[in-house]
């Protein structure tokens, strides 16, 4: 083993702060016995949803890891929601997390789109079609509950490898192979490679860019829209299983709910002024100024007549963020030492809720490539340390086409719902409401993309967790039933 971990420091046990999620029990969902540990160790930078999913995958695949998160608590409640689509939930199901996630998620079954004047121009049941096609409704989660569940369901051995209050400041190579990661508190960690799951302001991405040979790739991100969000106690403005949207010129309001945690989420998308500076930091007074604008405060939050102005005093949390868009090019890795997943590698607008789903697919692809490469390299440390870049390159090659598709359709739908110009408005107001168009788009665009969802080739399960009319392109590897029954008998299970 080439592990050189410092002895684990006692870390505060991160829990969900708002108190909605109280179950701190560790549920060991290991479906098959833990495989023997592979001779590599990964330093995961970032304990967001993608980093935590990587921790689940590595612990199931027997890949040693340490996860460093700069926050003091893992599940900070920023008040936003996350929708997971069938191909994303399927990954969670393969990791043994389906029951826990269904216990905190709310299935989305329909959507209503209307104008600022209260005219509903489309009532869509396309999420229903999602269930028909893939076997499960898209699920809406309170973000902090999702993250908290991802953390709490890790086996204790994996949780002990997660260190909070660790801000990674630099990464350097170690003579003879491997990397060393330095944190702002002076501690350091060594491993075989660094996995950058550290989001949009990724220090791992900055390091990769600074080391890449000239010409150094300029920032791949553009920022045309901002997103102001706030959460509310569940109000009877929309059914919890329904999404509600108001579309207008350069502006869109989305309302979603999670009835299990009694929360409603409102998202206001806006086109930024042409002179917007990417370095501008939004403040609370920017939020208040936007909310008090007549065109915003009068926006309806559903069919009940309640407006943004009425609901604002009831808000639980709020925030505002620029919506960066871009895909890092030409690579997502540097040598054998660093590789990126999730928002650190690509960032999309969240109108159709794809960013996290994309990050989950990254984890699957990378975990498959790395574990298969390390398995084939045998016990040769030189071969492993010298050939990881091939696995990283294959990972990106596998993901790029899908990422570009998701990037394009996310940006397009943001511009469509915010009526970027008259053509978008025409399509949204006139073409979309034509009976059958929403169904056609699900069947011809969304479902074929979802059906290409990836699975961990090294994690066997008893059965495919859900299936619909559209078959998954890649089947989940199944346990040998007889061997599994024998194993259960032996372990008394």
Ligand X SMILES: Cc1cc2nc3c(=O)[nH]c(=O)nc-3n(C[C@H](O)[C@H](O)[C@H](O)COP(=O)(O)OP(=O)(O)OC[C@H]3O[C@@H](n4cnc5c(N)ncnc54)[C@H](O)[C@@H]3O)c2cc1C
Query: 41 to 80, contacts with ligand X by CB under 6 A?
Result: 45-51, 68-71, 80
Residue window 443-482: x/- pattern of binding to ligand X, with contact defined by CB under 6 A: ----------------------------------------
Does residue 14 touch ligand X according to CB under 6 A? no
Nearest distance from residue 160's CB to ligand X, in Å? Answer: 18
Does residue 135 touch ligand X according to CB under 6 A? no
- In this structure, what token pair is assigned to residue 330? 């030409």
Does residue 112 touch ligand X according to CB under 6 A? no
Does residue 165 touch ligand X according to CB under 6 A? no
Closer residue to ligand X in complex, CB, 318/388: 318
Give the C-alpha separation, 56 to 478, whole Å: 19
Listed residue (95, 14, 23, 7) closest to 48, CA to CA: 14
- The residue nearest ligand X at its CB is 48
Query: 257 to 276, contacts with ligand X by CB under 6 A?
Result: 267
Terminal-to-terminal C-alpha distance of the chain: 32
Give the C-alpha separation, 253 to 231, whole Å: 13
Nearest distance from residue 278's CB to ligand X, in Å? Answer: 16
Does residue 411 touch ligand X according to CB under 6 A? no
Does residue 321 touch ligand X according to CB under 6 A? yes
Closer residue to ligand X in complex, CB, 362/428: 362
Closer residue to ligand X in complex, CB, 53/128: 53
Closer residue to ligand X in complex, CB, 39/261: 261
- In this structure, what token pair is assigned to residue 26? 């560790």
Closer residue to ligand X in complex, CB, 39/362: 362
Nearest distance from residue 465's CB to ligand X, in Å? Answer: 19
Nearest distance from residue 69's CB to ligand X, in Å? Answer: 5
Closer residue to ligand X in complex, CB, 170/304: 170
Give the C-alpha separation, 65 to 37, whole Å: 10
- In this structure, what token pair is assigned to residue 206? 């900055």
Nearest distance from residue 93's CB to ligand X, in Å? Answer: 16
Nearest distance from residue 435's CB to ligand X, in Å? Answer: 27
Give the C-alpha separation, 279 to 267, whole Å: 22
Give the C-alpha separation, 426 to 461, whole Å: 47
Respond yes or no on whether the N-terminal peptide bond of residue 330 is cis (omega within 30° of 0): yes
The only residue of 86, 300, 335, 355 in contact with ligand X, by rule CB under 6 A: 355
CA 338 to chain centre: 20
Task: Output DSSP code: residue 95.
Answer: T
- Binding segment toward ligand X, per CB under 6 A, in 337-345, 431-439, 442-450, 456-464: 337-345
Q: What phi and psi values does residue 463 have, to the nearest 5 degrees?
A: -155, 160
List, in sequence order, every residue forming a beta bridge with 307; answer none if it has no partner: 300
Residue 101 near residue 149 (C-beta atoms within 8 A): yes
Closer residue to ligand X in complex, CB, 87/377: 87
Give the C-alpha separation, 258 to 105, whole Å: 7
Respond yes or no on whether the N-terminal peptide bond of residue 20 is cis (omega within 30° of 0): no
**What is the DSSP track for 430-446?**
IITTSTTHHHHHIIIII
- Binding segment toward ligand X, per CB under 6 A, in 99-107, 196-204, 372-380, 445-453: 196-204
Does residue 197 touch ligand X according to CB under 6 A? yes
List, in sequence order, every residue forming a beta bridge with 385; answer none if it has no partner: none
Interface with ligand X by CB under 6 A: which residues? 45-51, 68-71, 80, 82-83, 166-168, 197-199, 203, 227, 229, 267, 321, 342-344, 350, 353-357, 359
């Amino acid at each position: 083993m080439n592990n050189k971990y410092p002895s684990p420091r006692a870390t505060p046990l991160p829990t969900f702060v708002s108190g909605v999620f109280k179950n701190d029990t560790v549920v060991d969902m290991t479906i098959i016995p833990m495989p023997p540990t592979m001779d590599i160790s990964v330093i995961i930078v970032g304990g967001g949803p993608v980093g935590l999913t990587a921790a689940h995958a590595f612990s199931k695949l027997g890949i040693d890891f340490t996860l460093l998160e700069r926050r003091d608590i893992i599940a900070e409640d920023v008040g936003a929601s996350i929708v997971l689509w069938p191909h994303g939930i399927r990954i969670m199901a393969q990791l043994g997390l389906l029951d826990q996630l269904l216990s905190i998620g709310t299935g989305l079954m329909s959507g209503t789109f209307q104008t600022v004047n209260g005219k509903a121009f489309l009532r869509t049941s396309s999420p229903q079609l999602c269930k028909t096609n893939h076997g499960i409704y898209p699920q809406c989660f309170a973000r902090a509950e999702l993250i908290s569940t991802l953390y709490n369901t890790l086996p204790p051995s994996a949780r002990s490898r997660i260190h909070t209050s660790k801000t990674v400041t630099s990464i350097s190579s170690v003579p003879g192979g491997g990397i060393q990661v330095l944190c702002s508190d002076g501690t350091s960690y060594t491993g075989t490679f660094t996995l950058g799951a550290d989001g949009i302001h990724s220090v791992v991405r900055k390091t990769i860019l600074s080391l890449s040979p000239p010409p150094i790739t300029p920032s791949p991100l553009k920022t045309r829209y901002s997103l102001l969000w706030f959460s509310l106690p569940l109000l009877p403005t929309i059914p919890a299983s329904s999404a509600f949207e108001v579309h207008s010129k350069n502006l869109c309001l989305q309302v979603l709910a999670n009835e299990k945690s009694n929360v409603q989420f409102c998202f206001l998308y806006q086109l930024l002024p042409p002179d917007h500076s990417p370095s501008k930091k939004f403040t609370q007074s920017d939020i208040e100024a936007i909310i008090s604008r007549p065109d915003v405060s009068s926006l309806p939050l559903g069919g009940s007549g309640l407006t943004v102005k009425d609901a604002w005093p009831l808000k639980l949390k709020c925030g505002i963020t620029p919506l960066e868009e871009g895909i890092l090019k030409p690579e997502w890795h540097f040598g054998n030492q660093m590789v990126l997943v999730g928002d650190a590698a690509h960032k999309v607008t969240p109108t159709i809720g794809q960013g996290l789903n994309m990050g989950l697919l990254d984890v699957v692809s990378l975990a498959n490539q790395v574990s298969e490469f390390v398995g084939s390299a045998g016990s040769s440390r030189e071969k492993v340390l010298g050939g990881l870049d091939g696995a990283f390159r294959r990972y990106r090659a596998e993901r790029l086409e899908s990422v570009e598709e998701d990037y394009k359709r996310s940006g397009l739908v943001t511009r469509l719902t915010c009526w970027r110009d008259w053509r978008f408005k025409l399509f949204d107001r006139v073409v979309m409401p034509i009976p059958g168009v929403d169904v056609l788009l699900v069947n011809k665009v969304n479902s074929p993309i979802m059906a290409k969802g990836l699975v961990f080739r090294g994690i066997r399960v008893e059965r495919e967790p859900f299936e619909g009319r559209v078959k998954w392109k890649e089947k989940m590897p199944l346990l040998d039933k007889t061997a599994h029954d024998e194993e259960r008998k032996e372990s008394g299970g």
